[in-house]
Amino acid sequence: MSRPAHTPAALRRRPARGFSLIVILLMMVALAMLALGAMNSSILQERMVGNARDQQVALQAAESAIRDAEIDIELNVNAADGFVAGCANGLCIAPSDTRDNPQSAPLWQTINWAATRAYGSRTGAPALLGPGNVALAAQPRYFVENLPVLPPVAGESMSIGGGSTPAPRARAYRISVRASGIRASTVVMLQSVYVKQ
């Protein structure tokens, strides 16, 4: 069998140039880059949500510790208790209230938090847990500062007729709390002033 001398143009082979292969490869690389960018964005957003959630857990633990400290003050603390400048057992005299250090740094910046009061240690409150009953990195800790006596109410500020000085109407205590979330790196600190009548 002999081949015909003239073959139709449709049957002739043209040399492959690979242009479509290059276009497809470039499109696949572009799609891969878009997918990688979307994945990185979703991972970043997941981390942000996790951090915000842990911050909220730590904030709620700190608020619970403030309530626990208020109950402790109401039930167990009075001005005659062991309030000292060295802050023994979580009962402190504010540095600005001492003769030696009237302009010192706030206690929460310098205190050894391990020597303060733990959440529930004085009130018997159960340990705090995070979402899904996951344990916190550490239970909140707090200390109480004995603040100066509040002045008497209006009209009682003077002793009339040579009588004794009227008793102060209330005692104020500053509560400083340090709480962590599920991760130890998430820390929230709160302060509150509690007035005991």
The model's pLDDT over 173-186, given as tens digits with 9 standing for 90+, comes to 999 999 999 999 99
Residue 88 has what pLDDT? 78
Tokens, residue 107: 């206690």
Tokens, residue 120: 């529930």
The model's pLDDT over 79-114, given as tens digits with 9 standing for 90+, comes to 777 788 778 788 888 776 666 655 567 888 888 899
In whole angstroms, give the CA distance from residue 63 to residue 128.
11
Q: What secondary structure does DSSP assign to 137-188, as a single string?
A: SS--EEEEEEPPPPPPPTT-SS-GGG-PPPPPS-EEEEEEEEEE-SSTT-EE
**pLDDT mean across residues, the chain:** 82
Residue 78 has what pLDDT? 76
Q: What pTM did the predictor assign?
A: 0.70
Q: Which amino acid is at 176?
A: S
Residue 154 has what pLDDT? 63
In whole angstroms, give the CA distance from residue 193 to residue 172.
7
How does residue 116 score in pLDDT terms, banded at 50, 70 and 90?
very high
Which tops the pLDDT comparison, 184 or 3?
184
